[in-house]
Amino acid sequence: MYLRHSTVRKNGKSHTYWRLVRSVRRNGKVKQETVAQLGELDEQGRAKARALALAITGGREQTELFKTESASNEPVPVKLDGVRVERGRRFGDVWLGLTLWNALGLDAVCEDKMPRGGEDISWATMAAILVIARLCEPSSELYIAENWYRRTALEDLLGVCDAKVNDDRLYRALDRLLPHKNALQTHLVERLGELFSIDYELLLYDVTSTYFEGQAERNPMAKRGHSRDKRSDCKQVCIALVVTREGIPLGYEVFDGNRTDVTTVQEIVDSMEKQYGEAKRVWVMDRGMSSKKNVAWLQSTGRQYLMGASKEELKRFKDQLCDQSGWTEVRDGVEAKICPEKDGDETFVLVRSAEREKKERAMHERFAKRIETGLESLGRRIQRSRKELERGPIERQIGRLLGKNSRAAGRYDVQLLDEPSKPAGLRLEWSTRTEWDDWSHRSDGCYVLRTNTSDWTPEQLWRTYIQLTEAEAAFRIHKTQLSLRPIWHQRADRVQAHILVCFLAYVLWKTLEQWQMRAGLGNSPRTILDELGSIQSTDVVLPLATTPEREVRIRCVVRPDRSQALLLDRLGLRLPRRLRPRHP
């Protein structure tokens, strides 16, 4: 995707509008398709972004990060035919990544937790390299050391020459960073709250998995389990993530790969409250966390919750589903109804969605068609058989067919009967259950929420629950944009450190997202990083006319094009013009 702008004249004035576009191929031709209109670059937006930029940078002007030579008015003759440009480096994206790293105070907290000792390069600096690389171009430590770092301007920004950045030092930086996971999380919660006035009273909690390449034999947490990545052939670990309603992360925990979601609730709630205190929070979870044990524990400890209920809970409300009174429209095509418990402290919310109903019926029809096609084919094969068939293999085949299409398996009553008059000795009979069809027709598109909060409306409860998509989006960003998967590390501690680096990169990602949203530039940090990543730093070499063997080397930042300049202006940032190489 790309940022593009267009200028429109209205009433004698020029207006510049930003839009997010992507390249698509249609009928053999590549065209640009608008994904989102990002709005006009007005003065008010620039002012807001500039104010936020000052808050992020601590009130410092961006150019203060760089020292420039004092200007001299004395002219120096230069040999024009010898002027050349050397040492082009990616500058814009790593400069922005370092700005975010420092804005969150991660430089200071890492220096505090990993004070400089006898090493050439501080571990805090190496940690910054790992996280900024994960944000800008996710890759392995070996690739960072042998390729990525030397192509960027981090050498000038951090004062670390590329010869000092090797895979061994990066691996040891992972080992040094890991013990400070909780301290980093606590610091980030406080700093993000200062920058964006985040409300931590409602927390979204979800679990995902990420798989390993290799056997991971030295990692006792690496086990086979339910894979969200469709890689049941690989070992995995499970990751539980807690975020705010805006998707800002609060913390995470890593569990064994065969751990079920429902068993993690008490541990993650206790962990977060031990770290951040027992405030009055509302925990939002999906139905995979819902169990009688968890609900009883949350209620007995006085914690508030909102979670999806299991499908079985829906059958308790057959009459309410048929009753058309009491429904409230919470969005186009979505209705909700409160169903308080008579003898308990819980409130249940029935929700029905027209889009979800259409989707579920289409799924049932597809699976039902597969089952019927398979049963008909199996029945014909049994009838045509000229020899006696064994019951066991056929029953297992029926079981596999129903198991692969489990969403519609309950619709069918399948029997394998003895038939002595036939050569096969068996006969397949099947029929549909009308009660299954009746319940499916009534319940498709419906689901149940359960909560112990009593003063929320159906709309508030539903809108709060669907914010779980922020947790799902967080996992998606971790896995795709930050390459959390697959994990190539085999040692348990290196796996934990890899996940921590991805978590820190995600915090930088969300900080940039919040920043650009407040600047009216949409919510695609990758687009911002890609646009600024094409801004380079270079060395302009000027051979002296009077002394040909001598040269003047000026390290500077290439001027951004118009689109990049408008983008930087909207964010309230200024690129430095000159750089001075700094080496230890």
Is the pLDDT assigned to residue 61 strictly greater than 50? no
The confidence band for 553, taking pLDDT boundaries of 50, 70 and 90, is confident
Q: Where are the domains of the chain?
A: 90-181, 198-346+452-490, 356-443
Residues 501-516 have a mean pLDDT of 95
Q: Answer whether the bond into residue 179 is a cis peptide, omega within 30°.
A: no
Provide the CATH number for the domain formed by 198-346+452-490 in this structure. Answer: 3.90.350.10
Residues 469-497 have a mean pLDDT of 94
C-alpha–C-alpha distance, residues 570 and 447, integer Å: 43
| HEC readout, 124-154 | HHHHHHHHHHHHHCCCCHHHHHHHHHHHECH
3-state secondary structure of 381: helix
C-alpha–C-alpha distance, residues 188 and 276, integer Å: 12
pLDDT of residue 43: 55
* Lowest-pLDDT choice from 89-103, 513-527, 569-583: 569-583
Length of the chain: 584
The answer to whether the CB of 290 falls within 8 A of the CB of 262 is: yes
Question: In sequence order, what DSSP letters do the residues of 325-349 get, joined into one string?
Answer: SS-EEEETTEEEEEEE-SSSS-EEE
pLDDT of residue 583: 46
Is the pLDDT assigned to residue 136 strictly greater than 50? yes
Question: In sequence order, what DSSP letters do the residues of 67-118 get, joined into one string?
Answer: --PPP--S---B-GGG-EEEEEEE-HHHHHHHHHHHHTTHHHHHHHHS---S
C-alpha–C-alpha distance, residues 46 and 96, integer Å: 18
Residues 221-231 have a mean pLDDT of 93
Query: pTM (2 decimals)?
Result: 0.85
CA angle, residues 565, 38, 196, in degrees to nearest 5? 85
